[in-house]
């Protein structure tokens, strides 16, 4: 990233939902044009450092929350420190930022407060919120069979993923999440692993309902490539999965040179009954090394889509 939004600059209220590296890319883009940025992060991860800390302390998975805090951070020393991963001893595999979040939450008894304090350490230019404040398990129907746990869903070999949901099904988001979505000028969904990051973040019923009701422009940023969850998918398949889970974007942003669009933009494409087809915006979005979305290119596109 070679540009930075000046502190205190005015601009739209942007909420971005998802998880992992994909959501971090959207946040790096949004911070360049938004006046207020809120990340709503899936916390269903049950593998690696996050899974160990979930089991030990009964907290939501901290890993993707850490990545988003770092994406919004301005203090380079703390950004590097949060991403430091131990490679020996009892701490092997843990990222320092995960331990900081877990420690702050344990000490204060306030998980949201812990995230806010971690954000202050990093000089974050926005707020990071979990999709739920209680640990949840991701469940999927794959080839007609139920599979539980994000790691198992991500690597399921039973067939194509039909749907995902959370256990417990009535998990509630923090009130701050609903307030942010309701007040937003733009809501960004994705990019990221389609089922285990993107749809996992909107599988909380109250979040999906808030997205449906918000007057904000709803933008889906499509992935640059397929992964183990989406073998054989094109852009239209990604959109169809999103709509199957109750979110109908106003705009779909995709890079046609990175992932085949399929029937995106076609009147025969996927759309909810009675809903308008989303506007399709095609643009070159990949970094030169093709390893992710270029924040500058993505920011240029997203800034033009604010109502």
DSSP helix, strand, coil percent of the chain (3-state; round to 5) = 40, 20, 45
Instruction: Evaluate if residue 158 carries a pLDDT over 90.
Output: no
pLDDT of residue 268: 42
pLDDT higher than threshold 80 for residue 6: no
294 versus 45: the higher-pLDDT residue is 294
Q: What percent of the chain has pLDDT over 70?
A: 93
List pLDDT tens digits, range 36-52.
999 999 998 877 888 89
Whether residue 274 has pLDDT greater than 60: no
Residue 78 scores a pLDDT above 60: yes
Q: What is the mean pLDDT of residues 239-255?
A: 94
Angle (CA) 234 237 240, round 5° = 155
CA 34/CA 298 separation, integer angstroms: 13
Residues 6+ apart with CB under 8 A from 242: 189, 194, 198, 199, 202, 220, 248, 249
Q: Mean of the pLDDT values across residues 49-77? A: 92
Q: Are residues 296 and 32 in contact, defined by beta-carbon separation less than 8 angstroms?
A: yes
Give the orientation angle of helix 63-72 with respect to helix 48-57, to 10 degrees.
Answer: 120
Mean pLDDT in residue range 2-19: 73
Task: Quote the pLDDT of residue 151.
Answer: 83
Reported as a pLDDT band with limits 50, 70 and 90, residue 289 is confident
| Matching CATH number, 1-32+174-307, of 3.40.50.10680, 3.40.190.10, 3.10.20.30, 3.30.2450.30 | 3.40.50.10680
CB-CB neighbours of 115 under 10 Å: 26
Q: Which of 301, 262, 267, 296 is nearest to 281 (CA)?
A: 301
Query: If pLDDT is split at 50, 70 and 90, which confidence band does 1 have?
Result: very low
Q: Is the pLDDT of residue 156 over 90?
A: no
Residue 227, pLDDT score: 87
Cβ neighbours of residue 114 closer than 8 Å, sequence gap 6 or more: 101, 104, 105, 108
pLDDT digits (tens, 9 = 90+) for 84-104: 999 988 888 899 999 999 999
- pLDDT on residue 90: 86
Q: For the chain, what is the largest distance between any 2 Cα atoms, rounded to a whole number of angstroms?
A: 57
Residue found by looking up tokens 């450092």 in the block: 49
Per-residue pLDDT at 89: 84
82 with 122: CB under 8 angstroms?
A: yes
- Indicate whether 276 pLDDT > 90: no
**Average pLDDT score, the chain:** 90
Residue 208 reports pLDDT greater than 90: yes
- Given the structure tokens 């949901």, which residue do they identify? 165
Question: Which residue ranges does the chain devote to CATH 3.40.50.10680?
Answer: 1-32+174-307
Q: Which of 192-196, 268-272, 297-301 has the least mean pLDDT? A: 268-272
d(CA 68, CA 71): 5
């Amino acid at each position: 990233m070679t540009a930075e939004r000046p502190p205190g600059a005015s601009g739209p209220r942007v909420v971005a939902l998802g998880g992992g590296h994909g959501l971090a890319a959207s946040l790096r883009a949004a911070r360049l044009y938004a006046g207020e940025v809120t990340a709503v992060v899936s916390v269903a991860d049950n593998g690696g450092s996050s899974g160990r800390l979930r089991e030990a302390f009964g907290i939501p998975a901290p890993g993707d929350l850490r990545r988003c805090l770092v994406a919004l951070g301005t203090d380079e020393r703390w950004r590097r420190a949060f991403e430091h991963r131990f490679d020996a001893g009892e701490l092997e595999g843990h990222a320092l930022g995960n331990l900081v979040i877990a420690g702050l939450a344990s000490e204060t008894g306030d998980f949201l407060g812990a995230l806010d304090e971690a954000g202050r350490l990093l000089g974050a230019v926005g707020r990071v919120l979990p999709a739920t404040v209680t640990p949840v398990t991701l469940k999927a129907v794959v080839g007609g069979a139920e599979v539980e746990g994000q790691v198992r869903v991500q690597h399921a070999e039973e067939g194509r993923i039909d749907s995902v949901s959370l256990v417990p099904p009535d998990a509630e988001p923090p009130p701050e999440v609903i307030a942010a979505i309701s007040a937003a000028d733009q809501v960004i969904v994705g990019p990221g692993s389609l089922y285990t990051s993107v749809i996992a973040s909107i599988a909380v019923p109250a979040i999906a309902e808030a997205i449906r009701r918000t007057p904000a422009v709803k933008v889906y940023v499509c992935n640059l490539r397929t992964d183990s969850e989406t073998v054989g998918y094109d852009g239209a398949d990604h959109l169809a999965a999103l709509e199957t889970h109750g979110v109908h974007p106003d705009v779909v942003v995709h890079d046609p040179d990175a992932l085949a669009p399929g029937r995106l933009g076609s009147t025969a494409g996927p759309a909810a009954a009675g809903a308008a087809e989303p506007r399709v915006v095609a643009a070159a979005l990949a970094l030169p090394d093709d390893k992710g979305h270029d924040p500058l290119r993505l920011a240029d596109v997203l800034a033009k889509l604010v109502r």
